[in-house]
Structures are given as C-alpha cells and as structure tokens.
Structure 1
Amino acid sequence: MQNVRAHLLIYGDVIGVGFRYWTVRQARKLGLRGWVKNLSDSVEAIIEGPKEKVEEMIRLLHEGSPTSMVKNIDVQWEECRGEFDSFEIKN
C-alpha cells in the first residue's frame, strides 16, 4: 500500500482544549507518523502513512475531540518523505 503525506491546517476551537493530545492518540491508534502543533489561530499537522489510514485520520479530525469544534481543515497532499518514527506534539 502506498504511503502518503498530508499537511493540514485545522481551524476552529482547537487551541487550549486538549486537541493536540487527542490527535496524537488517534494517530498512534492508526499507526500514523508525523507531528501536530499549535499556531496562533489554528493547529498544524503533518501526517504520514497508508493513504486509507491518513484519510481516516482526516475524517476523525473533522469530527474533532469531545472538547473541540473543528470548523475547517485545509489539506495539502504531498509525497511521503518517511522522515518520522512516531507521532508527536511539536513545539
């Protein structure tokens, strides 16, 4: 199965509500690699893994965590670089 990379900007009520920690848990359950971090007005994430798993993760992110309210996700598909060993919070 082909691995892909998605560069995401996630907008809404996603800062200060545990969204990054929830994202890490979901990504690890799916066996994905990459990172997630807060920006001033959004959350940014790089996700790598099998295309169907990355697409499933994006669906989960649209639903959001119980304490968040996701309004929009900008997705940019890129070629997988295979540079990550795990999924982490990046500062």
Structure 2
Amino acid sequence: IYLEEVATLTPTGVTFTERIADAFGGGWDAFVGFVQGLVIALVYLWPVVLIVIAVIAALRFWRKRHPKAPKAPKPIHTPPPAEYAVKSDNEPKPKY
C-alpha cells in the first residue's frame, strides 16, 4: 500500500444542478419511506380496521332496517295584516 500526500487541496464545489438533483432524490426517498411506513402501520392496525369496518356495516344495516320517519312540515304562520288608523280629514298621507 502506497500513500501519497496531495500538495495542494482543491475543494470541489457543489453546483446548483447537483443540489437540485439531490433535493429531488431526497424527496423521492422521503415519499417512499412515508408510503412504506403507512403500509406497515396499516398491517399493525388490521384488527382495528376490521372492527371499524364491521361497525360501519352494522350501522348501515340497522339504518336500512329502521329508516327515519319523515318530519311533518311546519305550518306556515303568516301574521295578520297590519291595521292603520283611518283619518277623516283630507290631510295628505306621508310617503315613506
């Protein structure tokens, strides 16, 4: 094994396009990790999911057997017409 020391160190800069490519790659990796975690969580929770599905099915079956009675419409209440005092003299009526 031979080791040689570099005389001058030239730093390699990261360009904008390389940073964009790294960001897209990191975003994709995060998305894949999220989907995998979601699937694993659903696998862990399968008994709960089955219970929820059974409860929803039972409620739908019960509602189909016992439908709600339609409510009777409320009667329309109209107030009586307003009564105005009739003046006997010939005064002009005010305009509103």
Do Structure 1 and Structure 2 share a fold, with TM-score over 0.5?
no
Task: Return the structure number with greater relative CO, CA threshold 8 A, min gap 6.
Answer: 1
Larger % of helix: which? 2
Give TM-score scaled by structure 2 length.
Answer: 0.19
Larger % of strand: which? 1
Instruction: Please identify the structure whose Cα radius of gyration is greater.
Output: 2
